[in-house]
Amino acid sequence: MAEKKAVVLVSGGLDSATVLAIATNEAFACHCLAFDYGQRHRSELDASLRISDALRAGAHKVIKLDLQTIGGSALTDDSIAIPEPGSVTSAEQTSDIPITYVPARNTIFLSIALGWAEVLGASDIFIGVNAVDYSGYPDCRPEYIAAFEQMANLATRASVEGQRVQIHTPLISMTKEEIIKRGTNLGVDYGLTVSCYQATASGLACGRCESCLIREQGFHAAGIADPTHYK
C-alpha cells in the first residue's frame, strides 16, 4: 500500500509538536512546514526543526514569507509591545481578539500548506489550532476551518480531479491539560518546544507572557513536570 502523506504545520510550540505526534501515530508520512515570517520569537524555528527530527518526520521545509511588510501584530511589529496578562489597556485592545493575533496568519499558512500538499499528492493537512485557549482568534474556530476546507476543495488541480482535501485539527476542542497528556503518551519531549512570545535566541522562555502562563498551568493541571527552559 502506498504511504499516506500529510503536510503538518509545525511552529515549534507545544501544540503543533503534539499534532505532529498524532499524525505520525495515525501512520501518515509527515511533511513538516514552518514559516520564517518575521516573528520575534525566532527560536521557535529552531525548535520546529528539533521536533521534526525527534519525531522522525520525512521532510521539513521552512518557507520565508515577509509578513512584517503588512504589519499589524505584536508578533511581527516591533513597535507594538507584547502585553503581560492584566496589563492591556483599552486603547491597546479594542476587542476580545489578542494583540498577538497576526492578520490572516492561519489562512496564509494553510494556503501554502495546500500548495505543497498538491505538489506532494497529499490530501491531508494537520494544524494545531485550538478553540479553547485561543478562543479570541477568529482563525482558530471550527466554522473557519470548515470554510477553509470547502474553499480548498475548489482551489486545486487535485480537487478538480476528485481528490478531497481534509484539514485535520485534532486539538481544536482540547484543553492544554488534555493536549499535554496526549502528547506525553505519544512520547513528545516538550522540553524541545518553545511557546513563549518573547523567547531568547536560545529558546529560553520569559515565564510571564500569556502563552507561558497557559503552558505552565497546563503542565500543572496535567500533573506532569514542566520541562520548559526558563530564563
Residues that bind a second copy (CB under 8 A): 61-67, 69-72, 95, 97, 101-108, 110-112, 114-116, 118-119, 138-139, 141, 143-144, 147-148, 150-152, 154-157, 159-161
Q: How far is the CB of 187 from a second copy (least distance, A)?
A: 29
- Selection from 41, 51, 80 nearest residue 204 by Cα: 41
Which lies closer to a second copy via its Cβ, residue 36 or residue 191?
36
- Selection from 167, 174, 100, 195 nearest residue 132 by Cα: 174
Which lies closer to a second copy via its Cβ, residue 159 or residue 175?
159
What's the Rg (C-alpha) of the chain? 17
Q: How far is the CB of 178 from a second copy (least distance, A)?
A: 25
Contact yes or no for 97/137 (Cβ under 8 A): yes
Q: How far is the CB of 45 from a second copy (least distance, A)?
A: 14
- Selection from 103, 128, 125 nearest residue 114 by Cα: 125
Q: How far is the CB of 182 from a second copy (least distance, A)?
A: 27
Which lies closer to a second copy via its Cβ, residue 113 or residue 205?
113
- Selection from 112, 147, 110, 101 nearest residue 128 by Cα: 110
- Selection from 30, 24, 29 nearest residue 2 by Cα: 29
Which lies closer to a second copy via its Cβ, residue 36 or residue 187?
36
Three-state SS letters, 135-182: CCCHHHCHHHHHHHHHHHHHHCHHHHCCCCCEEECCCCCCCHHHHHHH
Which lies closer to a second copy via its Cβ, residue 197 or residue 219?
197
Q: How far is the CB of 185 from a second copy (least distance, A)?
A: 33
Cell digits for 34? 514552518
Q: How far is the CB of 128 from a second copy (least distance, A)?
A: 17
Which lies closer to a second copy via its Cβ, residue 90 or residue 223?
90
Query: Rounded to whole angstroms, how far apart are CA atoms 91 and 79?
Result: 15
